[in-house]
Chains A and B, each alone.
Chain A
Amino acid sequence: MGINRPHISVRNLTVAYGINQALEDITVDIPDKQITVIIGPSGCGKTTLLKCFNRLIDLTDDVNISGTVMVDGADIYKDQSVDPIYVRKKMGLLSQKPFPLPMSIYDNVAYGPRLHMRHNKKELDTMVEKHLKLVGLWEEVKNRLSDPASKLSMGQQQRLCLARGLAVEPEILLADEPTSALDPISAQHIEKTFAELKKSYTVVVVTHILRQARRLADYIVFLYMGRLIEHGPAHVILNNPKEPKTQAYISGEIS
């Protein structure tokens, strides 16, 4: 496997909510155009790390961040010229539970494009169709694009959310336990899409399902109690972990 330049570089990142330390001194590179899976037990800081990437962490009250996060070589926290909106636009986000926006299916996908550029109706139609096809939802919804997004099933909603994230044309896709609320078929659908997407996107997936990590990961980051224990190519971490904690987690002794 060729060594790509890192897409996101994290250096000495420490995050605290009030007096609770969530992440401690994390240093890791997220490789470009691969699927990086962040694993670890509940409450280990996986989601926090993910939220640091697109600065969604800014919305949390009473949060303290130190260290650096570089995206494409720019320090997204300290460099004043970097706008959080620009950072977020660069990354699509898929959350744990699908949260479609309170509007029609079409408007959900068109939401991002409408924010960032003036498109005419035809361009928007093309974009909506393209991204709904990308997530495998087009055939199911093409005749009811003006229906409320809330009418879709959970699995469909999650795919719609993915399409909404992709419609902004990001470079990075962040997913926070994206299949945990879904039925197995929908979950499989999402995973398949990820495998397809990594050709053109850097994908970061947080999961606590080890089997999902095995299926998806090119690169694995293992967090435990807010600390980075081990990271490396998936086959190394999964088959020959060095750290005892990683070994214990992979073998299922701790979860």
Chain B
Amino acid sequence: MRLSAKKTEENIFKVLMITSTGVVVGSLLMVFAVVLIKGAPAMSLSMITSVPQGGYYLGKGGGILNAIVGSLYLAFGATILALLLALPVALYLQKDYIGKSRFARVVRFSLDVLWGVPSIVYGVFGFIIMLYLGIRASLLGGIFVLALLELPIMIRAMDEVIKMVPQELKEASYATGANRLETVSRVVLRQVSPGIVSAVILAFGRGIGDAASILFTAGYTDRLPHSLLDPVASLPLAVFFQISTPFPEVQQRAYASALVLLIIVLALSILSRTIAKRYTKYIIR
């Protein structure tokens, strides 16, 4: 009796786990399917190789090259900038430096709060700063605000993986007479390199997919940017603008734009994983 009750319990939980996993994977696949089915017919070479031409938003010719280029500039720029700031912060938060101090707790808590701040708030904040500095909506403004948006997720993701480095591994390095910088740069970073790559991709994904924060700060234009101070288009906003039109053929292009966005993120994830794999074999478990 007791034994069969245990078995039933086990089975109920198994069903629960399978169902939940199914729901999660299913929703993801459905998103992919909808974007693919609705977007594929509008996909064409000109879609990804030309900028909008006259009457594009009414259904005439052209493409979204402006948004593709804009998004890549914005997301790469922001991710590189965020990486430059996030890595030192994540390392500084470790036990070897400020570690368990109250200050470290405050920093972690602030980052967790920042993570939850809606991106439109970042956009408004960035816009106010830019007004104050006299900068207009531009690639530069967009990069700064997106970097700000990416920072919390990047730092906390790095922090969590670096925290997992066994103390003994660090001690092995210190015992040979290495200082903190040598230990961190030559041992810790090698040990966590795949985790760092994941953190960067996670942040890149958030950056390239965000619309609200760059609405006021990067602007939107049908042209390709020629300098950091030019306004730029972006894929999320391209999706938004096209889906808001009353024309079905333009709405279809919104799905095609979303598809391009998905493909970029997917391609980058696969590429980075392949690169990270080369270092995985060195990791000490």
What chain A residues lie within 8 Å of B176 (beta carbons)?
88-89, 92-93, 111-112, 115, 164-165, 168
The answer to whether A241 has its CB under 8 Å from any CB of chain B is no
The answer to whether B172 has its CB under 8 Å from any CB of chain A is yes
8 A Cβ contacts from B233-285 to A: 281-285
Q: Which of B12-20, B85-93, B136-144, B185-193 contacts A (4 or more CB under 8 A)?
A: B185-193
Give A104 to B190 CA distance when docked, in angstroms.
11
Question: Which of B96, B168, B174, B281 has a CB less than 8 Å from the CB of A88?
Answer: B174
The contact string, 1 if C-beta is below 8 Å from chain A, for chain B 162-173, is 000011111111
A99 x B172 contact (CB < 8 A): yes
A54 x B284 contact (CB < 8 A): no
B282 x A148 contact (CB < 8 A): yes
The answer to whether A59 has its CB under 8 Å from any CB of chain B is yes
Give A100 to B284 CA distance when docked, in angstroms.
7
B175 x A115 contact (CB < 8 A): no
Q: Given A97-B168, A102-B190, verify A92-B175 contact (CB < 8 Å).
A: yes
The answer to whether B8 has its CB under 8 Å from any CB of chain A is no
What chain B residues lie within 8 Å of A95 (beta carbons)?
168, 171-172, 175
What chain A residues lie within 8 Å of B167 (beta carbons)?
59
8 A Cβ contacts from A41-57 to B: 54, 56
B175 x A88 contact (CB < 8 A): yes
Give A99 to B183 CA distance when docked, in angstroms.
14
Question: Which of B168, B177, B282 has a CB less than 8 Å from the CB of A89?
Answer: B177
Give A151 to B283 CA distance when docked, in angstroms.
10
What chain A residues lie within 8 Å of B96 (beta carbons)?
59
B171 x A148 contact (CB < 8 A): no
What chain A residues lie within 8 Å of B169 (beta carbons)?
99, 101-102
The answer to whether A247 has its CB under 8 Å from any CB of chain B is no
A115 x B168 contact (CB < 8 A): no
The answer to whether A61 has its CB under 8 Å from any CB of chain B is yes
Question: Which of A54, A56, A102, A165 has a CB less than 8 Å from the CB of B191?
Answer: A102
B283 x A59 contact (CB < 8 A): no
Interchain nearest-CB distance for A206 vs B (Å): 14
A115 x B282 contact (CB < 8 A): no
B173 x A111 contact (CB < 8 A): yes
Most B-side CB within 10 Å, residue of A101, A103, A150: A101
Give A59 to B190 CA distance when docked, in angstroms.
21
Give A85 to B179 CA distance when docked, in angstroms.
7
Give A56 to B167 CA distance when docked, in angstroms.
11
The answer to whether A161 has its CB under 8 Å from any CB of chain B is yes
The answer to whether B100 has its CB under 8 Å from any CB of chain A is yes
A111 x B282 contact (CB < 8 A): no
Interchain nearest-CB distance for B92 vs A (Å): 16
The answer to whether B58 has its CB under 8 Å from any CB of chain A is no
Give A59 to B168 CA distance when docked, in angstroms.
11
Q: Given A101-B187, A102-B283, verify A115-B172 contact (CB < 8 Å).
A: no
Question: Which of B95, B100, B282 has a CB less than 8 Å from the CB of A104?
Answer: B282
A61 x B179 contact (CB < 8 A): no
The contact string, 1 if C-beta is below 8 Å from chain B, for chain A 214-245, is 00000000000000000000000000000000
A115 x B174 contact (CB < 8 A): no
What chain B residues lie within 8 Å of A91 (beta carbons)?
175
Interchain nearest-CB distance for B279 vs A (Å): 8
Give A149 to B169 CA distance when docked, in angstroms.
13
Interchain nearest-CB distance for A161 vs B (Å): 7
Give A85 to B170 CA distance when docked, in angstroms.
14
Give A145 to B168 CA distance when docked, in angstroms.
23
What chain A residues lie within 8 Å of B283 (beta carbons)?
102, 150
Give A148 to B279 CA distance when docked, in angstroms.
10
A150 x B282 contact (CB < 8 A): yes
A59 x B174 contact (CB < 8 A): yes
A99 x B100 contact (CB < 8 A): no
The answer to whether B178 has its CB under 8 Å from any CB of chain A is yes
The answer to whether A116 has its CB under 8 Å from any CB of chain B is yes
The answer to whether A17 has its CB under 8 Å from any CB of chain B is no
What chain B residues lie within 8 Å of A111 (beta carbons)?
173, 176, 178, 186
Q: Which residue of A lies closest to B285 (CB)?
A: A150
A102 x B187 contact (CB < 8 A): yes
Give A164 to B178 CA distance when docked, in angstroms.
12
**A–B Cβ pairs within 8 angstroms, 24 of them:** A54-B175, A59-B96, A59-B170, A61-B99, A85-B179, A86-B177, A89-B177, A92-B175, A92-B176, A95-B171, A99-B166, A99-B171, A99-B172, A101-B169, A101-B172, A102-B282, A103-B282, A111-B186, A112-B178, A115-B177, A150-B281, A151-B281, A161-B172, A168-B177
